[in-house]
Structure 1
Amino acid sequence: MVRKLFFILIGIFLCFSIVSCGIAKKGITKAERNEALQKPLEKPKEKVSNTVNKTVYTNTENLDNTLYGWGVRVLPNHQTPEITPKAMELIKKYDAIFVGDTTKKVVYLTFDEGYEAGYTPKILDILKENNVKAAFFVTGPYVKEHADLVERMVEEGHIVGNHTVNHPSLPTLSDEKVKEEITKLGDMFKELTGKKMKYFRPPKGEYSERTLYLTKSLGYRTVFWSLAMADWQPLPGGPEESYNTVIKRLHPGAVILLHAVSKDNVIALDRIIKSVKAEGYEFKTLDDIPSKM
């Protein structure tokens, strides 16, 4: 009887040890807890359904859908901003962009066009006067309501990128919905201009590994940024703040994000471009950033 009890106790001890080890392997390290640069904003509580045609992309159920908000750590003395190791891993894995050639004094100017506030014609005028080509990331309503401006962007040699139809947070959508948001806008643009979109910027800067995979599988290259500010709303310092922020944070290979709805940006834009050139920088386009795949 004693021998039997001994073996029972040994068995209970072994089971407890196995369960404890399994839990420990899933623990979060102190370094991970302290990683504040780009921590997940949200992890969907329910599994996102995958009903899309498997001939387009497969195995998305095995991809992490943790929602991240894009962000960089600004460094002094015109150094390349830092991103987290996880963000860098995903950038490389899915051939996304957040900087260009950091070995040369080149910059890439991009604008987000969620809606039209009346400033884009002036932006296009300034770009033309300074012989600068940029990229404009547009939404569905923008293409529908401002087709003339989209056509002008194309005619004047600018890149028009995909910012989805409705500007949703993609990690919260199913595969089918992600595909719909991206392909419908691409179709609208092609019907209007006869051209195909190549670049994609995630709405709100929110993404996951799953959405990066889906975007790439649809033929797009995801474009983040290395220099930006909270310019979708009036800046406390007005146009001077817009100008000073860009010049202070300027660095080789910078992908600059400006929101076209900002009056402050429009007022500062000509001065920004001239000062960037005076610093010895050359404006390039996203097409000049080679794919590493």
Structure 2
Amino acid sequence: MLTVAALGAGAVASGCASDARNGAGGAHGQPPQLAPPAQALHEYAQRVRANHTARAAAARYWGLSQVPLAAPPPPAVKPRLKTRKGFGVRGHAQLPPVFTTVPTERKVVFLTVDDGAEKDPAFLRMMSDLRIPYTAFLSNYLIKTNYGYFKQMQDRGTALNNHTLNHRYMPDLSYKAQRREICGMQNVIEKRYGKRPELFRPPYGNYDRDTLRAAKSCGIKAVPLWASEGFADRMAWREWDRDLHPGDIILTHFRGSDDWDGSMTDMVRTVMKTVTGRGYAVARLEDYL
């Protein structure tokens, strides 16, 4: 808010000089003309205020007690990804990194949604209204009943990534079977949505060396897991301190009342109560990878 205020003040200060040149009220009662740099700052401040006003109205509509914080601009230099200690496999240096947190000092976290079972239109509207970014990891056996739902998601700016064809427990499968699961899903997403993903999340978060070898051979660059998980009525924590940390990845699922004590919109309220209440913004994962 200090930045916006400073920008606004700068625009007003520059505008005063312009007013002196053009007359206090501008020609024929029109708003005073600002010098180009001041005008750009003034327009930026107006956009920021308008965005905040829209998010505040959406927060009230969707039953959030706090307005979600806006994420900062993407970093100019992407963080270097490393496999989390204890998550590596033999020869991991040549394989996609596996991590639960993205290296950053910013107070941002990343929301990811898995599988594709529930296809709730209200979830799409809520996330668009609140302007909350998220990343989807999809399994074909669940999304094939309504590919169009996820096309709507993609059209609203969400990246669609790989969660295998059939959500099998990967370490039980041979290398060839694992490769069929991963490369097969790459093909589905490319055919249906026009782009082969670079991110892969193994079902249940379980993998072995063959999983990562197969993923790399299918074009996967990174394997984001998660540091915490959101449900309709609670958060579940992987870390000992049961808290958020800069760059943490939050997992949730496409689930509804058949599986949860609530809906996907309830899940968003639960997650955002924790995220916003602890001073974090939700950023777009792909902007940091």
TM-score (norm 1): 0.59
CA-CA distance at 1:211 after TM superposition: 1.3
Question: CA 1:183 to 1:274, structure 2 compared with 1: closer, same or farther past 3 Å?
Answer: same
Deviations 1:207-235 (A, max 9, x none): 11221222123211212111126x4xxxx
Equivalent residue for 2:59?
A: none
Please give the alpha-carbon distance, in whole angstroms, between the structure 2 residues aligned to 1:202 and 1:225: 11
| Contact 2:233–2:266 under 8 Å retained in 1 | no
Equivalent residue for 2:39?
A: none
Matches within 5 A, 1:124-273: 124-220=124-220, 221-228=222-229, 231=231, 239-242=232-235, 249-261=243-255, 262=260, 263=262, 266-270=265-269, 272-273=271-272
**Matched residue type, 1:251:** H
| Contact 1:105–1:253 under 8 Å retained in 2 | yes
Equivalent residue for 1:26?
A: none
Matches within 5 A, 1:70-149: 85-87=85-87, 93=93, 94-116=96-118, 118=119, 120-149=120-149
Matched pairs, number: 198
CA-CA distance at 1:124 after TM superposition: 1.8
- What is the percent sequence identity of the aligned residues? 26
**Matched residue type, 1:260:** F
Deviations 1:73-121 (A, max 9, x none): xxxxxxxxxx9843157797332331113422010000112522x5x32
Secondary structure of the residue aligned to 1:111 is strand
Deviations 1:194-219 (A, max 9, x none): 12222111011111122122212321
Equivalent residue for 1:46?
A: none
Equivalent residue for 1:63?
A: none
Deviations 1:15-53 (A, max 9, x none): xxxxxxxxxxxxxxxxxxxxxxxxxxxxxxxxxxxxxxx
My pick for the range that moved more, 148-157 or 263-272, is: 263-272
Please give the alpha-carbon distance, in whole angstroms, between the structure 2 residues aligned to 1:241 and 1:152: 28
Equivalent residue for 1:55?
A: none
Question: CA 1:121 to 1:245, structure 2 compared with 1: closer, same or farther past 3 Å?
Answer: farther
CA-CA distance at 1:275 after TM superposition: 5.3
Deviations 1:237-273 (A, max 9, x none): xx44349999953221110001221435531413533
My pick for the range that moved more, 261-270 or 168-177, is: 261-270
Question: CA 1:84 to 1:283, structure 2 compared with 1: closer, same or farther past 3 Å?
Answer: closer
Secondary structure of the residue aligned to 2:246 is coil
TM-score (norm 2): 0.60
Moved over 6 A (4+): 89-92, 243-247
| Contact 2:227–2:238 under 8 Å retained in 1 | no
Gaps of 5+ in 1: 1-82, 232-238
CA-CA distance at 1:177 after TM superposition: 1.1
Please give the alpha-carbon distance, in whole angstroms, between the structure 2 residues aligned to 1:91 and 1:253: 26
| Contact 2:198–2:219 under 8 Å retained in 1 | yes
| Contact 1:260–1:266 under 8 Å retained in 2 | no
Question: CA 1:121 to 1:248, structure 2 compared with 1: closer, same or farther past 3 Å?
Answer: farther
| Contact 1:105–1:282 under 8 Å retained in 2 | yes
Secondary structure of the residue aligned to 1:108 is strand
Secondary structure of the residue aligned to 2:99 is coil
Please give the alpha-carbon distance, in whole angstroms, between the structure 2 residues aligned to 1:84 and 1:191: 33
Question: CA 1:170 to 1:248, structure 2 compared with 1: closer, same or farther past 3 Å?
Answer: closer
